[in-house]
Amino acid sequence: MTTTPRRGLLRQVWLPALATGLVSLLPAQTAAPAPSAASAKPEEVITLSPFEVSTAKDVGYVANNTLAGSRLRTNLGDVANAISVYTPEFMSDILATDESDLMRYSASSVPERTDQTPAVQGISMFEGVFRQRIRGQAATRSRNYFETNLLPDTYNSERFEEARGPNAILFGLGGAGGLLNTTTKRARTDRAFTEANLLVGSWRQKRGTLDHNQPLNDKLALRLNGVLEKADGWHPDDQRENRRLHLAAVFKPWARTTLRAEYELGRMTDSVTRSYTPSDFVSIWARNGRALLPSATQAPTAAQIAGGIGRRNADPRITFIGNDGTVKNFQQTLFTNHTVATGTNRSALLPDDWAAIDGAAYPYEGSFFGAGGYVNNKQSTRSLFFETEPVKDLFLEFAYNRDSREHTIYDYNINVMEVRGEPAQTFRDGTTNPYAGRYYIESFPIRRQSDVTSDRYRLTATYTFDFGKRGRHNLAGLLSRDESENPRNTDFLVADGAPFNAIPSAVQNRIWSRTYIENPGDPASWSVADWRRIPQEVSVVLNAGQAPTPYRTTWATESATRPVSTIDSGMATLQSYWFNERVVSTAGFRRVEYSQTRGTGLDDGTLDRFSYGVVAKPTSAVSLYYNYSENALVPTSVQTLIPNDTLFPVNSGEGQDYGVMLSLLKGRVFVRAGYFEANSVDQAKAAGVGPNIRLPHERITTALVGAGRLTAAQVPVVLGGDFDLADVESDGYELNVTANLTDAWRLLFNASKSDSVESNLLKVGRTVITDMLPVWQTAGGGEVVTSSGLTVADEVANVLAWRDSFLALEGDSTVGHRELQLRLFTRYDIKRGPLKGLFFGGGFSYSDAAVIGKTRATGAYITTPVQREADVLLGYQFRLPALFGRKANVTLQFNGQDLLQQNRLALVRADTDGQIFRGVVMPPRRFLFNAKISF
């Protein structure tokens, strides 16, 4: 594969396709087999426009049609690109509450939890970022085919559609991995119904949902959905609350005109927890006897440094100690540290390491961010859809959507995941340190505030041409406009008045929070002191013998931006049905014009993207398909590149799918098997550029200027975020089976075998490192100590070691990619006899070993163990007497998840010397019980 668009292939196939009329966007006319009487659902007595689908005809796990193939209602068997539909019954069977529950059963998806990048933020879930990669590529989320950053929930979701691979024609701007679309529940005029669920589960989870549809007459109906959820997490200090309300309305003033409207309001609170393994800053000190030095400020000897003891620089470090509520200055004091003897720093502290240095249990459940890490989130959306058929075969849709999200995240710097030891027997002020010899965790609090609002408009038109033997064709066009703005700021808790640095938010002015671990065996002990306990005024002795100095604490803004973006798009497509609908062909073109700003930065451009595909049906049961498509993703203007704080380039890609589809057992079984290729150029990568390039640069140059080795004028300024760029190529095979094998037996099976390779990693960062090395390696400055307690030479060695480790798999593989994945879920209902109403089933997933690094010495791959997990399902259905004049059905259901628990740790990345750079602690087994009543 190549990483540049295949324009030659495009011309070779596109022009003949146009010449022969292989085009359109028409919904398929091939009817799906009717469900059996035993399993049939009531159908809506309405005529659907080509812009909507109904789940009324979805039976079990098998969906009949989709919008994901052409943006108009199309039979799944007529769609050339790879699509999986998660139906309401499947969502109910696995007790899914959000998209991550569903994606556990997608064989082509992996969670983006730093598996593929060494990102350390881990707060993407709170910022609305889609946290899955599909086919090894970045993917996108939408809601009713409007791009969205709202956090989805199944309480108001009719179905989810996973469209894999790039397809800018259908979805507009998006990632090369594809798209996960949520279709929200719509009001229905045909009948009234009510459904209520009560779910209780592990970690004190309690969740109630209500779904009520009420026709007011044959033209007007309302539907109300709500959820109220409270739960603890498996970490101490981990709680969440979810309150949302969704109202949908439909009005049909005339036979060929429909007006739909939706409104949703949500309030969510959640704890900020990152399930990473902690970084090890104690093992060297522990293995060398846990030496204790009499004075906190004495300079360690060379032997003591080699034994894991360092000393901070001369910057003030006002720190609140949560154990006793005191405030100390840890300026120029001792701490335990790694050395760079192996060229590494901050490796993960794993259970084997812990057992070697401490007898206490490993802190799997440790909540390092504690009660002070939490998020308040408010989101709302309002949508309007107007659909009409002014003349026969001409359909028009105007749609408008407005999303709004406000969140405030109270977080800590990532060094809160570092475990350190206290080697000093006194504090800096000369008083005795009662915590000498103990471990501790510390960090400084951060507040992130964001308010993103997006207005999106869409006008779609389609007209049908029927030329008899010359085929039936549908010409469609779309115009859309997206306008978004996202004011946001990042603040730090500081001593007011900028007492130690003229920049109020500078690290010298920040207030730290520390907890000494007094009971290592108690997971609740492993949490940094809650910043909310820090008094509004603190008094601290800066130096021994001085009187305490009072300081007021306040929040100081480090950065405040107001990114604004506008995207205009136009699309033209054709789809054609040939030879008595034995051949279905599609082709389309989309032009996108975009502009975005971030502060004083401005970026704009024009993008042209193509797509075409064909489905051939040699028999009624067998279809062959081919699809080619391109994508483009204008990155968020929130993140920027070093060294000049510039905006990201457009991420572009292309993909191809080949394969066969089977419709078996009179439509009860649908099989899609195929081969895919996908690649993307300039994909944004959360590479940890900030902590590994920008911040070391600041520490090194600050120390060199302070030591007189450089002048401020000689220091290049490095600005920008934590992300960098890379190119990604992936290819492989997929098998997707959805089946209602009998009226009582449902099955979903997904499998993939694929390769993913990253190239051109650190496109920007490696150049910055090369350019900065002469500055960092200033003659005679190597032994100058930085604010981290390391020498400049050690800092430089760590940067180079990190770079080499990050690039180790370049051109060979993608970190964390799993070549073989299998997903299975099934359910069986007992329909007759004394056990009638009982149902049971479960799921199984398998992922083979992932490559997470490559050794410098031998070039051997470092891999993780395979992953195997199992779920179980058990339930009972029965009827109650009529409720409110309608028959009531009751379902009691038990689900157990992740029952095997073979690996409590998922290893994420390894350094070139074999040390594990990062791991993820997997959640324990989970048990859920749900009671549902519908009438």
pLDDT digits (tens, 9 = 90+) for 468-516: 989 999 898 999 999 999 999 999 999 999 999 999 999 999 999 999 9
pLDDT score recorded for residue 5: 39
73 pLDDT band, cuts 50/70/90, is low
pLDDT score recorded for residue 600: 58
Rounded to whole angstroms, the Cα distance separating 79 from 586 reads 9
pLDDT score recorded for residue 34: 36
Q: For tokens 């889609």, what's the residue?
A: 130
Reported in sequence order, the residue ranges of 392-511 that DSSP labels E, i.e. its strands, are 394-412, 418-421, 439-443, 445-466, 472-485, 488-495
| pLDDT 10s digits, 553-609 | 999 999 888 889 999 999 998 989 999 999 999 898 999 998 988 765 678 889 899
Compute the half-sphere exposure of residue 849: CA atoms within 13 Å on the CB side of its CA: 8
384 forms beta bridges with 261, 400
pLDDT over 50 at 616, yes or no: yes
Q: Is 281 exposed, middle or buried, given 0-12, 13-18 or 19+ CB atoms closer than 10 A?
A: buried
Q: Where are the alpha helices (DSSP H) in 689-755?
A: 689, 695-706
896 pLDDT band, cuts 50/70/90, is very high
| pLDDT 10s digits, 267-322 | 999 998 888 889 999 999 998 999 999 999 999 998 998 899 999 988 899 999 99
Q: What angle do CA 18, 19, 21 make, to 5 degrees?
A: 60
Rounded to whole angstroms, the Cα distance separating 66 from 159 reads 10
Helix, strand or coil for residue 913?
coil
pLDDT over 50 at 39, yes or no: no
Q: Torsion over CA of 688, 693, 696 and 700, rounded to 10 degrees?
A: 180
Among the listed ranges 76-80, 203-207, 454-458, 854-858, which one has the minimum average pLDDT value?
76-80
338 pLDDT band, cuts 50/70/90, is confident
φ/ψ of 359, rounded to 5, equals -85, -10
Distances 536 to 363, 506, 507, 529 between C-alpha atoms, Å: 32, 19, 19, 15
pLDDT over 50 at 671, yes or no: yes
pLDDT over 60 at 17, yes or no: no
447 pLDDT band, cuts 50/70/90, is very high
**835: how many CB neighbours lie within 10 A of its CB?**
10
Percent of the chain with pLDDT over 70: 88
pLDDT score recorded for residue 916: 85
pLDDT score recorded for residue 28: 33
694 pLDDT band, cuts 50/70/90, is very high
pLDDT score recorded for residue 171: 54
Longest dimension (CA), the chain: 99
pTM: 0.88
pLDDT over 70 at 119, yes or no: no
pLDDT score recorded for residue 207: 98
User: In this structure, are strands 239-254 and 220-232 parallel, antiparallel, or unpaired?
Assistant: antiparallel
For 362, the token pair is: 């490993």
For 418, the token pair is: 């570092």
* pLDDT, average across residues 86-113: 90
pLDDT score recorded for residue 172: 63
| pLDDT 10s digits, 158-191 | 989 898 888 755 556 678 888 888 999 999 999 9
pLDDT over 60 at 20, yes or no: no
Residue among 838, 811, 835 at smallest CA distance from 892:
838
Compute the half-sphere exposure of residue 55: CA atoms within 13 Å on the CB side of its CA: 21
Residue among 903, 913, 909, 733 at smallest CA distance from 816:
909
* pLDDT, average across residues 759-785: 93
339 pLDDT band, cuts 50/70/90, is low
640 pLDDT band, cuts 50/70/90, is confident
pLDDT score recorded for residue 8: 40
Element (H, E) at 798: helix 792-806
Q: For tokens 């500055």, what's the residue?
A: 775
